[in-house]
Amino acid sequence: MLLRREGWVVNQKRVYRIYREEGLEVRTKKRRRKRASHIRLLLPPAQRPNERWSMDFVTDRLENGRSFRVLTVVDQFSRECPLLEPGVSMTGKAVARASVV
């Protein structure tokens, strides 16, 4: 930055290389550490069926190259899958409309 103020046209990589060759300390931007927005707690395991469900998307491609997604809902206790909802594009509204029979 000081060189640019004096009117020099400088390349950031070149300045970094020269600093390293001279054994100087190179100050770069300090990287921020990502932190979780909230404290995560380990939940106790499910004790009976239908107590806790998990949902996830599975993606695959058809023979013609077109991709599709399947919304899967799994019961944590019995490991049954009460819902498989396929779709080409699954919006939030489509996920909310999906019902478990």
Q: By the 8 A CB rule, do 74 and 80 touch?
A: yes
Domain presence at residue 92: yes
pLDDT digits 0-9 by tens, 62-87: 999 999 999 999 999 999 999 999 99
Higher model confidence: residue 86 or residue 101? 86
Domain presence at residue 64: yes
Specify the pairing of strand 53-61 against strand 83-87. Answer: unpaired
Give pTM, 2 decimals: 0.57
Q: By the 8 A CB rule, do 69 and 85 touch?
A: no
Structural domain tally of the chain? 1
Distance, in Å, from the CA atom of 71 to the CA atom of 90, rounded to the nearest integer, reads: 8
Distance, in Å, from the CA atom of 100 to the CA atom of 98, rounded to the nearest integer, reads: 7
Q: By the 8 A CB rule, do 53 and 75 touch?
A: yes
Domain presence at residue 40: no
Find the domain containing 82 and state its range: 53-97
What's the average model confidence in pLDDT over 92-98?
88
Is the pLDDT at 13 greater than 80? The verdict is yes
pLDDT for the residue 101: 58
